[in-house]
Amino acid sequence: MESPHFRPKRFVSGKHAQTIYSTLFPPENPLRTSYYHEDILLNVSDGSGDALWLEHNPPLSSYRKSSPPANGHYILMIHGMEGDSESSYLVSLATSALERGYGVIRMNLRNCGRGRGFSKKSYYAGQSEDVQDVLDFMYESLSRKIFVSGFSLSANLILKFFGESRDHKALAFSAVSPPLDLAKNCVFIDSIAGRFYRNHFIGSFKKKIKDGVVKLTPKQIEDSKKVKTFFDFDDMITAPSFGYHSAMEYYKANSCISFIPFIRHPGILIHAEDDPVVPLFEWNSIQWKKLPNLKTILTEKGGHVGFVTKSSPELPDGLWLTKILLDYFDSRL
């Protein structure tokens, strides 16, 4: 596959504008109206009683006569931190994937989107057992030819998953804007430069706690009132919720940079140099040339899961990121 050079849309070239543009001007979501869909509540296998809310769009040819033929493959798509299955990048990717003959599953992480209230706890950056549960379900019920696409925090999750020793049940993957080193990214997000995004994320988590969506111990509820930084939240809430003694132990165990050298599946990683949420940090320290199964695209601009460009004959809808990802998966068919 060839990768067209990314050129930011006029007047949306700044890193923050690229990052928030699709949030302010989201694409129309036809996935529950114009396309056949079903909601799936999948019980996880860890014995917690928690469930994941999945949104399933089967290939168009299964119910439309005039449609692209099914290519036999499904794509599992996973949103970033405090996003959900309705996140703009998932909607755009899923819509275009259906028109190319794929089937699609959009996964809500625990207590996200329509899955709010179906889990006791929230999610965390390395919760790869949930990815395994969903892939096991898809493999047995939908297709044995599966790709996986993760964004932001879930890009870290996907890279960790494919670097682990397990029955992956997937052919290839994509990871967009991944935080490679969670500790370094936390330091940045707690700095003045990352404060806007930190306040957004912490505010969203605190609302879930206040609304009783996430179940915490009495001590954690009291600690949550003291949270001022992202490190505070991970150290007092996230880490103990998932069996870690501290935020630093949690970061070390779940940062994908430790797992990337062990990935044997083919995959594509996309990042922007001007990402205002997840700076490059360790990107250039990885010896990518020694990992020929991984294709990397590093753009000068694009923001965080942004990559908003103008319409052109090559990109009539202006969805540069969607085209790159689907072209890559098409090349693996």
Burial class (CB in 10 A: 0-12, 13-18, 19+), 215: middle
**Geometric angle at alpha carbon 150, from 234 and 48, rounded to 5°:** 55
What beta strand segments (E) does the chain contain?
38-43, 51-57, 74-78, 103-107, 146-151, 172-176, 267-272, 294-299
Q: How far apart are CA 47 and CA 305, in angstroms?
A: 34
Burial class (CB in 10 A: 0-12, 13-18, 19+), 280: middle
The sheet with strand 103-107 has its strands ordered as: 38-43, 51-57, 103-107, 74-78, 146-151, 172-176, 267-272, 294-299
The two structure tokens encoding residue 212 = 């009783």
Q: Phi and psi for 67 in degrees, rounded to 5?
A: -155, 160
51: enclosing H helix or E strand: strand 51-57
Q: How far apart are CA 263 and CA 323, in angstroms?
A: 24
Catalytic residue among 85, 152, 154, 177: 152
Q: Active-site residue 96, yes or no?
A: no
Is the separation of the CB atoms in 88 and 23 below 8 Å?
A: yes
Q: How far apart are CA 331 and CA 323, in angstroms?
A: 12
Q: Active-site residue 275, yes or no?
A: yes
Q: Active-site residue 133, yes or no?
A: no
The two structure tokens encoding residue 18 = 């690229």
**Nearest Cα to 87, choosing from 47, 27, 14?**
27
Catalytic residue ranges: 152, 275, 304
